[in-house]
Amino acid sequence: MAGAISRVYQNIFRRTSTFILAAVGGAFMFERGFDLLTEGIYDNINQGKLWKHVKHRYGQASLEDEEEE
Amino acid sequence: MLSYLSRSAHLAPALKSTAQAVANGTKNIIPGVYEGVVVELVQPPPKALTAYTMAKRCATGPVRASAGIAVSSQVRYAHTDIQVPDFSDYRRDDVKDSRAKSSVESASSRRSFTYMVVGGGVVTGLYTAKSIVTQFVSSMSASADVLALAKIEIKLDDIPEGKSVTFKWRGKPLFVKHRTDEEIETETSVDVGSLRDPEADSVRCQDPKWLVVVGVCTHLGCVPIADAGDFGGYYCPCHGSHYDSSGRIRKGPAPLNLEVPTYVFPEDGVLLVG
């Protein structure tokens, strides 16, 4: 554990260039994860209210109407 | 009397014990006589609660007291009663006991923690900055309803072969021409190098049967007349610019070909412009 930490320090944190690189790369991954998480929470709270949750009902109905016509 | 007391300031207690006080020459004070009860007015030393009051208790300036046989005595203050502050709450676990081991061994892990905190701040800061910038930039682009209104859908079955039909699109005339096979052949066989604004017919038409151009003359913005002119395409009556069946300038003052908007054929017989 301590060896891994010191290796991370030696290879990434010690030099400013690698530190910035790691921060930017981490920001990309963080963005993806954070967006997925918050979207999931939002969808979970609004379960059954969003268009993508009720779309199949209306899509089916409108298709049937077209067939009737 | 009153004047003497007020002027002598802190010397007053000392002077009060004498029968007669004589002022020094610098101050012109009337000597006063006091024959009352002598009151001890020495202030007790302050309680040593803070660094300031502690310093107050220390002897400052030259020490007057001297004792001993031919040697001067010293006054030493051994502050054994003062507690050394305990900072262990603020120390990292690795360096709690300063005598146990060298702090060099744990330096990388301690610094890693500090840099990790800073790095986490940088990551979240970058994410926040990117989100804000994206929000502001996307607010500048047209919204979906505006974009939907800015498109027109044309049913191509209504346009007979060899005819050019004019539509209104974003406040401008739009020419859609259903070209005949002869026209297609004529336009594709034109030597591109001989044109004023060299553009091949295949570049201007996605489907060779359909020509879609904005009906605004590139000279001064008049609306050309369809199916007219020397080249069988469009003719601008204002200054006599002749365009061919591919909307390219062939004769007259206009410098550029008629503009081709972005369009797609989403399905057979339907044209979507915009």
The model's pLDDT over A10-30, given as tens digits with 9 standing for 90+, comes to: 888 889 999 999 999 999 999
Chain A and chain B share a number of CB contacts under 8 A equal to 41
Residue B116 has a pLDDT of: 92
DSSP state at residue B271:
E
Question: Of the candidates B108, B122, B130, which has its C-beta nearest A6's C-beta?
Answer: B108
Residue B199 has pLDDT above 70, yes or no: yes
Per the prediction, chain A carries an average pLDDT of 84
For residue A20, being part of any structural domain is answered with no
Which pLDDT band holds residue B201 (cuts at 50, 70, 90)? Answer: confident
| Whether the model pTM is above 0.80 | no
Any domain includes A35: yes
Q: How many whole angstroms from its chain centre is CA B87?
A: 39
Residue A18 domain-assigned (yes or no):
no
- Suggest the residue from B93, B106, B109, B111 to mutate for an interface test with chain A (most A CBs closer than 10 A): B109
What rounded mean pLDDT belongs to chain B? Answer: 78
For residue A20, which residues of chain B lie inside 8 Å, CB to CB? 122
The CATH number linked to A51 is: 1.20.5.260
| B126 has pLDDT over 50 | yes
In this prediction, residue B63 has a pLDDT band, given cuts at 50, 70 and 90, of low
Residue A3 lies in a domain: no
Residue B127 or B181, more confident? B127
Q: Do A5 and B108 touch (CB under 8 A)?
A: yes
β-strand pairing of B225-226 with B249-251:
unpaired
Is the CB of A27 less than 8 angstroms away from the CB of B112? Answer: no
Q: Where in the sequence is the domain holding A45, given as residue range(s)?
A: 25-69
Return the DSSP state at B151.
-
Catalytic residue numbers of B? Answer: 239
| Model pLDDT for residues B65-90, shown as the tens digit of each residue | 566 676 666 666 666 777 777 888 88
Residue B108: which of A9, A26, A34 has the nearest Cβ?
A9
A31 to chain B: closest CA residue: B127
Whether A9 is covered by a domain: the verdict is no
Residue A11 lies in a domain: no
Question: From the list B112, B124, B127, which residue is nearest A8 (CB)?
Answer: B112
CB hemisphere CA count around A22 (13 angstroms): 17
Band (B10; pLDDT cuts 50, 70, 90): low
The answer as to whether A4 is a domain residue is no
Q: Indicate the number of domains in chain A.
A: 1
Buried b (16+ CB within 10 A) or exposed e, B223-236: bbebebbebbbbbb
Which of B94, B96, B87, B88 minimizes the C-alpha distance to B108? Answer: B94
Range among B42-46, B52-56, B122-126 with highest mean pLDDT value = B122-126
Q: Which residues of A touch B111 (CB under 8 A)?
A: 9, 13
Q: How many CB atoms lie under 10 A from the CB of residue A5?
A: 18
Q: Counting Cβ atoms within 10 Å, is residue B149 exposed (0-12), middle (13-18) or buried (19+)?
A: exposed
